[in-house]
Amino acid sequence: MVLRLSSLFLRTLREDPVDAEVASHKLLVRAGYIRRAAPGIYTWLPMGLRVLAKVEAIVREEMNSIGAQEVHFPALLPREPYEATNRWTEYGEGLFRLQDRKGADYLLAPTHEEMFTLLVKDLYNSYKDLPAYLYQIQNKYRDEARPRAGLLRGREFIMKDSYSFDIDDDGLEAAYQAHRAAYIKIFARLGLEVLPVFATAGAMGGSKSEEFLHPTPVGEDTFVRSAGGYAANVEAVTTVVPADIDFTDAPAFEVMDTPDTPTIDTLVAVANQMAARPEGPWEAIDTLKNVVLAAKLPTGERQLVVLGVPGDRAVDFKRVEANIASHLEVGGEVEIEAATEADLKKHPTLIKGYIGPGNGLDHAVLGSQGASGILFLVDPRVVSGTSWITGANEAGKHVFGLVAGRDFTWDGTIEAVEVRAGDPAPDGSGPLETARGIEMGHIFQLGRKYAEALDLKVLDQNGKLKVVTMGSYGIGVTRAVAALAESNHDENGLVWPRNVAPADVHLVVTGKQAELFEAAEKIATELEARGIEVMYDDRPKVSAGVKFSDAELIGVPTIVVIGRGLAEGVVEVKDRATGEAANVAVDEVVELLVTTVNG
């Protein structure tokens, strides 16, 4: 069916929508692909739906090709399965919850691990039934605190989510690798550059996990990579841990008056003065700052945590959020913020600006065993034998030469501080550089967490019940459309890769003579008969200028102009991406276009 602009449900806009910040959002709205229905919730217009359908088809084909089978779950689900895995609570405010007319609790599913687990439990009971790979392409719901950037972070969006079920870890690894390979193919076919990076599993639980990031400056995710091939998102980067230091000969710590040094900068200035003294042993030691944070638990509770980190490194709250759950003995998404004055008042042993891990082992303040009772975690660089300038838990005083493992202990270590360009990659592949990206996909080895919670067991080769191990794999389908727009546009509009373009060829008639329209109709009909998808600007009263700018905005890969040249038997064929144009004999143009489109 030829898409005729005279009747196509499409209106282009000259102005950017006021709420749009990124190019994909601006252009998808301006070119008539989507419209906003509510914050983070979009309507798909006919052109948008065509692109979306092509993306879905590629995803579907590659999932089918690894033997994954398509199913379709409801979006509206009862509370109980999510209660069993504790996610009803753990998801916190990010979950849309509602009640039916009888007062029963429901949710709009943000992801479907529970339901897939229960379905496999319902149908399967033997190791012979495994492996099983199941997937769906379906609406997901997340009540984002800050929906942004159009389709890039929405509240209703389409995901392909798949799940693997295996009897053992080898099976899970094979399923993971099959999905990883399929994802690489999918993004290649979409024409979307992605980089698999190590990731943390976050609220999903599980162990091994990689994100597929599309590098772009508008991405929300910061990641790092080394020239040697290491890549990880910032949450997942691990610090190169120094070796322990023998502290046998380390001098004893010394409490000193350091008035007016409530901040690291003021302390460092004083410490430098100290170091300049001929009599002191403290010329080469670093400051340890003890940062009080509040963790907002999914249960609604607020728990204080102190982080002891090198004074020259800022705490990265997202890294803390990604890595703190195991220390809190609480699953789910934890929100981290700086402790408030009110928080501090409840703990009189904490003296702002002079907080330290204790003045010695026998009168510790921090740590679960200390006077404050507050969990005390340290940066991985704080290894046994390192010596620090830190707070003395007394106003105006710091302690110099406090030795880790000798003078203070901690409850655990945590990856909590900012990663910097130049930090070493953990695998020794060189210094890291930072970049930004959009998360396009995510693959997880979930392991047995969900199967255990929901009691998914099958009989193994020996007739014994065994808990199944699972993987979970997602691709943001609507997000992929936005990322494609983000990475395929110029100042005039969208420039779709051929595999996902809403049409193959855009015919533009410039002029009013009937012969032009007749020639265009003939080309359109012939192209369609050859399986080419044609958009045809047949609007009789629209100027050539408007038609050209609409064509550039809409972004179909090949534009054919039927205009003055027709009198000499030629039409112009223009490549939207390169801008290259050539006159082609009108009776050769169909053949040329078929070759161009089919590659």
Residues near its own copies, by CB under 8 A: 1, 7-11, 32, 35, 37-38, 41-46, 49, 52, 64, 67, 69-78, 93-94, 96-98, 100-101, 106, 108, 115, 119, 122-124, 132, 134, 139, 141, 143, 145, 155-156
- Nearest Cα to 487, choosing from 209, 219, 176? 219
Cβ distance to its own copies smaller for residue 10 or 559: 10
Q: Taking the complex as a whole, how short is the minimal distance between the CB of residue 37 and its own copies, in angstroms?
A: 5
Cβ distance to its own copies smaller for residue 39 or 229: 39
Q: Taking the complex as a whole, how short is the minimal distance between the CB of residue 553 and its own copies, in angstroms?
A: 15
Q: Taking the complex as a whole, how short is the minimal distance between the CB of residue 482 and its own copies, in angstroms?
A: 15
Angle between helix 477-487 and 23-30 (nearest 10):
100
| Token pair belonging to 5 | 């602009």
Strand order in the sheet with 505-509: 3-4, 534-537, 505-509, 558-562, 570-575, 581-585
Contacts of 575 (CB under 8 A, 6+ apart): 557, 558, 559, 581
Cβ distance to its own copies smaller for residue 106 or 282: 106
Cα separation of 316 and 417, whole Å?
A: 5
Cα separation of 9 and 33, whole Å?
A: 10
- Nearest Cα to 79, choosing from 56, 59, 96? 96
Q: Taking the complex as a whole, how short is the minimal distance between the CB of residue 143 and its own copies, in angstroms?
A: 5
Looking at residue 360, its amino acid is G
Cβ distance to its own copies smaller for residue 119 or 292: 119
Cβ distance to its own copies smaller for residue 132 or 297: 132
Q: Taking the complex as a whole, how short is the minimal distance between the CB of residue 36 and its own copies, in angstroms?
A: 10
Q: Taking the complex as a whole, how short is the minimal distance between the CB of residue 441 and its own copies, in angstroms?
A: 22
Given the structure tokens 């919850």, which residue do they identify?
A: 97
Alpha helices in 284-435 (DSSP H): 317-323, 325-328, 341-345
Phi, psi of 430 (to 5 degrees): 115, 180
Beta strands at 505-509 and 558-562: parallel, antiparallel or unpaired: parallel
Q: Residues 100-120, buried b or exposed e (16+ Cβ, 10 A)?
A: eeeeeebbbbbbbbbbbbbbb
Q: Taking the complex as a whole, how short is the minimal distance between the CB of residue 537 and its own copies, in angstroms?
A: 16
Cβ distance to its own copies smaller for residue 217 or 463: 463
Cβ distance to its own copies smaller for residue 74 or 251: 74
Contacts of 295 (CB under 8 A, 6+ apart): 302, 303, 304, 305, 324, 328, 334, 335, 336
H or E, element range at 518: helix 514-529
Q: Taking the complex as a whole, how short is the minimal distance between the CB of residue 328 and its own copies, in angstroms?
A: 22
Q: Taking the complex as a whole, how short is the minimal distance between the CB of residue 291 and its own copies, in angstroms?
A: 27
Beta carbons of 479 and 239 less than 8 angstroms apart = no
Beta strands at 489-490 and 469-476: parallel, antiparallel or unpaired: unpaired
Q: Taking the complex as a whole, how short is the minimal distance between the CB of residue 32 and its own copies, in angstroms?
A: 8
Beta carbons of 440 and 263 less than 8 angstroms apart = no
Q: Taking the complex as a whole, how short is the minimal distance between the CB of residue 179 and its own copies, in angstroms?
A: 17
Cβ distance to its own copies smaller for residue 52 or 213: 52
Cβ distance to its own copies smaller for residue 144 or 433: 144
- Partner residues linked to 162 by β-bridges: 135, 473
Cβ distance to its own copies smaller for residue 312 or 455: 455
Using alpha carbons only, give the angle 297, 301, 306 rounded to the nearest 5 degrees: 70
Q: Taking the complex as a whole, how short is the minimal distance between the CB of residue 229 and its own copies, in angstroms?
A: 36
Q: Taking the complex as a whole, how short is the minimal distance between the CB of residue 24 and its own copies, in angstroms?
A: 18
Contacts of 238 (CB under 8 A, 6+ apart): 380, 415, 426
- Nearest Cα to 583, choosing from 593, 572, 591? 572
Cβ distance to its own copies smaller for residue 132 or 197: 132
Cβ distance to its own copies smaller for residue 9 or 348: 9
Cα separation of 340 and 337, whole Å?
A: 9
Q: Taking the complex as a whole, how short is the minimal distance between the CB of residue 252 and its own copies, in angstroms?
A: 53
Cβ distance to its own copies smaller for residue 115 or 201: 115
Cα separation of 12 and 190, whole Å?
A: 25
Cβ distance to its own copies smaller for residue 99 or 598: 99
Cα separation of 166 and 178, whole Å?
A: 13
Beta carbons of 574 and 551 less than 8 angstroms apart = no
